[in-house]
Structure formats: C-alpha cells, structure tokens
Structure 1
C-alpha cells in the first residue's frame, strides 16, 4: 500500500507531462520541413520515435525529481494533495499570486528583450519563428508543464542535492546557496537546450541570436526556479503558463 501511495504523485506528474509531449507532435512535420537533407524515415515514424524518446526522458526526470526533491525540501504540494485524495485548494491559493507576478514579469522581460535584439537577429530566424510558432495549447502544456518537470522537478532538485553534498556536512540544514546555485545552473541549461532548434531555423549563427536564446530563456528560468524553491512546482508551472499568455497578448498588441 505504501509503495502505491508513493508512486501515485509520480504517475500524476508523468501523466500531465505526457500531455505536453503529445501536444508537440503536430509541430514535428513543420520543423522537419526546414531540413534540406532527405529524411531517413517517414514523418510518422519520426513522430513515434520522438514521442518515445521524450517519454523516456520525462520518466527519468520525474523519477529523479521524486527521489531528490524530498531530500532537499522541494515539493509539488498540489499534486501530492491530489494523490492523497485531499483538497488541494489551500496549497493552490498560496501559489496563485506569486505565479501571476512571476509569469507577467517573465513574459514582459522576454518581449522587451526580443524587441531590443530583434533588429540584430537573422531575418531568416525571425520569419521561420513566425511560421513555426507553436499553438497556444502546446505553449501551455509542453512549455508550462513538461519543461518544468524536466528542468525544475528533475534537474534542479538533483543539483540542489548534489551541491548540498559537496558543500555541507550530511545531516546539516541546507543553506540558501545550494538552491541559488541550482536555480542558475538549471536555468542556463534550460536556455542552452533551446539552441538546437534555433540553429535549425537560422542559416547563420550570430552572437545576438545566441544571447537571445540563452539569456531570454534563462532569465525566466531564474524566476521559475525561485518560485519552485519558495512555493512549489505548481507555482513554477503556473508562472510559465502565464508568461506565455503575457507574450501572446503582448505580441497581439505589438
């Protein structure tokens, strides 16, 4: 019984993360259209392989997060309440305002940062980005949920534990520098992970392009990491979704 109860939050986390993986499948043919080489496999087979690979990575990160988050005091309070068949409203209320503030600030920063660098970015990258813009539901599900499970729940939780074991005695209270270091590292990895897609959309690699991809995404990663640390995983997820909504609304006005 205890094993089943411990598995339940992980199953819920994997399920909501898998929804994000499915939401990105329709984008794969569009991304492949930018490839000049002849495809070795059919588009359908590439989609199946992509889902399988992403699912394995998600499963690994959900497991890593489930193991190491509890060792360092990080949690997903709403998911854990639901797994216990309890009301999650109390935990959710504590996350709403921080998620709104963090998401709006993050979304506005990315819009302003893009506006400041847009004249320096390759035109091919900007036009390809408009053609390949993911639908809103992909931004919400994959960007908001799946990426947070991979980066914050998985990587950040592990980095906090690793930093703690390297810099402190086992059994001592975990100090803030371990969380801050892990927020920075996981945010930079989040930014770097966006480079391959950016390079596939642009025939030339420029310093402004690399700066935009890494710094623009990392900046929000700092916000999401802080929210995960202080309020829980769902707060980071909510902020990520709100950041996308802010960018969609802001782009509409622009």
Structure 2
C-alpha cells in the first residue's frame, strides 16, 4: 500500500513550497488591487497583514496537497501521467503554443479595453513583481494541479468508468479525454466569474464572453498539453502565457 502512494505523496510534498509562495503573492497582488479602505477592513478582520498572508499560504497548501495527491493517483489510473522530464519536440510544440496563446491573451487590453468599462484601469496593477510571481507559482502550478491534474483526471476517470465498457485504461477512448478537457476548461472559466464580478462590479454578456473566451480557451490548450505530453508541460505553458502577456502589457501599455 505504501509503495502505491509513495509517488503521489512525494508529488504532493513537492507542491507544498510552491503553493505557499503562490498563495502569499496572490494575497499581496489581490490586496494591491483593492482601495485602502477595503484593504484595512480585510487586514483588521484577519488580525493583521501577516495573518492574512499565512491564511492565503495555508489555504493554497491544503488544496494543492490534497488535489496533488489524489490527482496524481487519478492521472496514473487514466494513463495521463507522464515522466517528469522535458523532451525537445514536446517542449518546442509547447513553447510555440505558449507564445501564441500569450500574445492572444496579451491583446486583451486592446480587444476589450474600449468595450468593458474599468478594464483598462485594471492594467495599472496587472504588471507588478507580486503579479508576476503569483501568476507563475499560483497560476502556472497551483491552478494546473487543481484544474487539470485533479479535475480533468477525475472527469476522465468517471467518464471512463461510466461509458467505456472495457475497464483497462489502454482502452479509454480519445472522446473521454476531450470531454473531460472541455468540462474542466468550462469550470476553470466559471471559477473566474466571482473575481470578474469583484473587478467590474457586474456581469454583462461581453464580460462573460471575455471570461470564457480567455479562461476557457486557454484551459483547453493547457488540458490538451496535459493529455498529450504531461502535467509539467501544462504548467510550463500556463506560467509562460502569463509571462508573455505581462511582458506585452509592460512594454506597450
């Protein structure tokens, strides 16, 4: 039994410091997006700024460790788990997909900035050291553990067990992974709606469209890379998209 959970435990343990860093800098980045009154209220409600940072780190560690452990097991059971190493051809394909996706995401300011009130102003806080670190550690790693390694693997496992007659993972059809990817990407996009409401104060058709276009579309890309090459390529792409887009905003806005 211990042998079966050795690798999942090792993976979950590896995620702990990454999740902690991601959690801390996500709180810092989020707090910087609020006005002074809201910041002070949150700090007071949390018994101090350091307590707020600790809470963010702890929450990220708990969720990432649990989802990392069970996600690893589900990924292995469905045949999605790959050796944690980068190879030349997959890395090149991932880098190209990352660059294209990052550029498209970087166009957000120009595509929607004039049609969504308040969007242009958010870019005043989009490119900061805290946002860079948060996007790499939390976006690139934590979100991929939660949404792809765990959730997409869970969907694939359930679809396989329910709809595929042969219960050997070698017989899992491609349609299972495609549907699992779509479901995970849709939930990934939907999960950004609360933050979207917080940012813009409302949801309009164009705001919802933007949310699902970017978050859902990118989720499909990351899920496709996870399916084809492994979760580490999805992490590389997710972090890379944030880096490319932020460089564009830093240089041209």
Shorter-chain TM-score: which interval?
Answer: 0.7 to 0.9
Q: CA deviation at 1:57?
A: 1.4
Which residue number in structure 2 is paired with residue 72 of structure 1?
Answer: 78
Which residue number in structure 2 is paired with residue 84 of structure 1?
Answer: none
Q: Residues 80-125 of structure 1: CA distance to partner in whole angstroms, max 9, x if unpaired?
A: xxxxxxxx4xx443532122012112112223355322211122x4
Q: Distance in 1 between matches of 2:172 and 2:18?
A: 30
Question: Is the 8 Å Cα contact of residues 30 and 132 (structure 1) preserved in structure 2?
Answer: no
Which residue number in structure 1 is paired with residue 121 of structure 2?
Answer: 127
Question: Is the 8 Å Cα contact of residues 31 and 39 (structure 2) preserved in structure 1?
Answer: no
Q: Distance in 1 between matches of 2:152 and 2:192?
A: 17
Indicate the RMSD between aligned Cα atoms, in angstroms: 2.5
Matches within 5 A, 1:77-116: 77-78=83-84, 88=85, 91-116=86-111
Q: Residues 128-180 of structure 1: CA distance to partner in whole angstroms, max 9, x if unpaired?
A: 34235453222211111111111111111111101111211242400001100
SS where residue 119 of structure 1 aligns?
coil
Q: Against the structure 1 CA distance between its residues 92 and 16, is the aligned structure 2 distance closer, same or farther, given a 3 Å change threshold?
A: farther
Which residue number in structure 2 is paired with residue 253 of structure 1?
Answer: 252
Structure 1: tracts of 5 or more residues without a match: 79-87
Which residue number in structure 1 is paired with residue 60 of structure 2?
Answer: 54
Q: Distance in 2 between matches of 1:197 and 1:60?
A: 23
TM superposition score normalised by structure 2: 0.84
Which residue number in structure 2 is paired with residue 221 of structure 1?
Answer: 219
TM superposition score normalised by structure 1: 0.84
Structure 2: tracts of 5 or more residues without a match: none
Q: Against the structure 1 CA distance between its residues 132 and 244, is the aligned structure 2 distance closer, same or farther, given a 3 Å change threshold?
A: closer
- Greater RCO (Cα-Cα under 8 Å, separation 6 or more): 1
Question: Is the 8 Å Cα contact of residues 94 and 231 (structure 1) preserved in structure 2?
Answer: no
Instruction: Answer yes or no: is 1:8 the counterpart of 2:10.
Output: yes
Which of the numbers 150, 164, 188 marks the counterpart of 2:146? Answer: 150
Q: Against the structure 1 CA distance between its residues 177 and 14, is the aligned structure 2 distance closer, same or farther, given a 3 Å change threshold?
A: farther
Question: Is the 8 Å Cα contact of residues 12 and 64 (structure 2) preserved in structure 1?
Answer: no
Q: CA deviation at 1:48?
A: 2.7
